[in-house]
Amino acid sequence: MIDYSVWDHIEVSDDEDDTHPNIDTPSLFKWRHEARVERMDQFIKAGEDLEKGLAESKRKLTEAQKKTKNLSSSVTDDAKAELSKAQAEEKRLKKEERDWEKKLEDHRREEKKMPWSVDTLSKEGFSKSVMNVKPDVKEDTEEQKEQKHKTFVEKYEKEIKHFGMMKRWDDSQKYLSDNPHLVCEETANYLVIMCIDLEVEEKKALMEQVAHQTIVMQFVLELAKSLKVDPRGCFRQFFAKIKTADQQYQDAFNDELESFKGRVRGRAKIRIERAMKEYEEEERQKRLGPGGLDPAEVYESLPEEMQKCFDEKDIAMLQTVITKLDPTEAKVHMKRCIDSGLWVPNSRADEGDDKEEDATYEELNKEMGEQKIE
């Protein structure tokens, strides 16, 4: 058996046909509905006030219980007096909490007895709106970008280079139509590096051709950003626009191309200068003597008379020059010569037809008598 008694408690105000002829039926339904909604709002507010009162009562009771617990551990007379008061307050708050709970329970029972109406018969289960908007993609970290670029280049390097060598608009468009995966940031980045490499190798004409294709790819990517679409879906729009001889768009393309080629030349120049510095430093490291000094730098720091001795490889002249120098200065110069490998103690050398023993550092000291160089 189905219990239909629940339908006996439905309050309806807007579907009654039995009204007095002198009464404006629409206005009557409107007043009844407004009165019912007002009663419902008041009832809901009363329930919310009861819930707030119960929550506040529970909070006060928790604080009172903590206070009672803290005072229980104290043995002073004052603490005992305070404990008695705290226990009485705790007892009062417990009774107050029970009163709030009873009131809230009565309110909920009353809610169940209320007649149903058009406003309470059904409630919205869920609401959902869907908009076809491109979601925000979390930006990759620098490490992720680098790995993504490396993987892409390893897979498509041959195709990217082929695209970079193209000259005609139609050929470029057809090639990208056949290889849409190339329409991406990774292709543009590789073409930029390729341009710099060609400029360093002084392949200027080829660099300018690849630079043209680099700007093509960058313009496609910028168009995709402005339209907020995948670049693979809009590269045809770029070619359609650039081939219609839109002078303003063509001028913007050419200006960016010239600017890009200038930046490539600047980057290539910096790379060459850096490579030269690294090469010079490597050569310098190779020249360093046993004491870590560069013989070329030490030679430049020597007095002109000593430089002449090394130029002519004349040991006797070197001995004479050292005897004329201040002992401290002579010691410094000879120490630097040894540390740079410019002067090698206890060595022998053959110079043309002359074969004589090279003077050691100590022998030079003996020649100077009291002006010894340690």
Parallel/antiparallel/unpaired status of strands 354-357 and 348-351 = antiparallel
Long-range Cβ contact pairs of 162-167 (< 8 A, separation 24 or more): 163/187, 163/213, 164/191, 164/194, 164/209, 164/210, 164/213, 164/214, 165/209, 165/210, 165/213, 166/213, 167/209, 167/212
Q: What pLDDT sits at residue 197?
A: 92
Q: What pLDDT sits at residue 21?
A: 57
Whether pTM exceeds 0.85: no
Q: What are the Cα distances from residue 268, in Å, to 164, 201, 315? A: 18, 9, 48
How do the pLDDT tens digits run along the chain, 374 residues long? 566 665 556 665 555 555 555 555 666 667 777 777 788 888 888 888 888 888 998 888 888 888 888 877 776 777 778 888 888 888 898 999 999 999 888 888 887 777 666 566 555 555 555 554 555 556 778 888 888 888 998 999 999 999 999 989 999 999 999 999 999 999 999 999 999 999 999 999 999 999 999 999 999 999 888 888 888 888 888 888 888 867 788 888 899 999 999 999 999 999 899 888 888 888 777 777 777 788 888 888 888 888 888 888 888 888 888 888 888 888 888 888 888 887 777 654 444 433 433 344 444 444 433 333 33
Q: What pLDDT sits at residue 364?
A: 47
The backbone torsions φ and ψ at residue 184, rounded to the nearest 5 degrees and listed phi first, read -165, 170
Counting beta carbons within 10 angstroms of the beta carbon of residue 293, is it exposed (0 to 12), middle (13 to 18) or buried (19 or more)? buried
Q: What pLDDT sits at residue 77?
A: 72
- Report the Cα–Cα distance between both ends of the chain, in Å, rounded: 123
Burial 101-122 (b: 16+ CB within 10 A, else e): eebbeeeeeeeeeeeebeeeee
> How would you classify residue 247: left for phi > 0, otherwise alpha for psi between -120 and 50, otherwise beta?
alpha
Who's near 336: CB < 8 A, 6+ residues apart?
291, 293, 298, 301, 342
Q: What pLDDT sits at residue 7?
A: 56
Task: Identify any residues that bridge with 349 across adjacent strands, giving them in sequence order.
Answer: 356
Q: Let me know: does 337 contact 298? Beta carbons within 8 Å.
A: yes
Radius of gyration of the chain (CA): 48
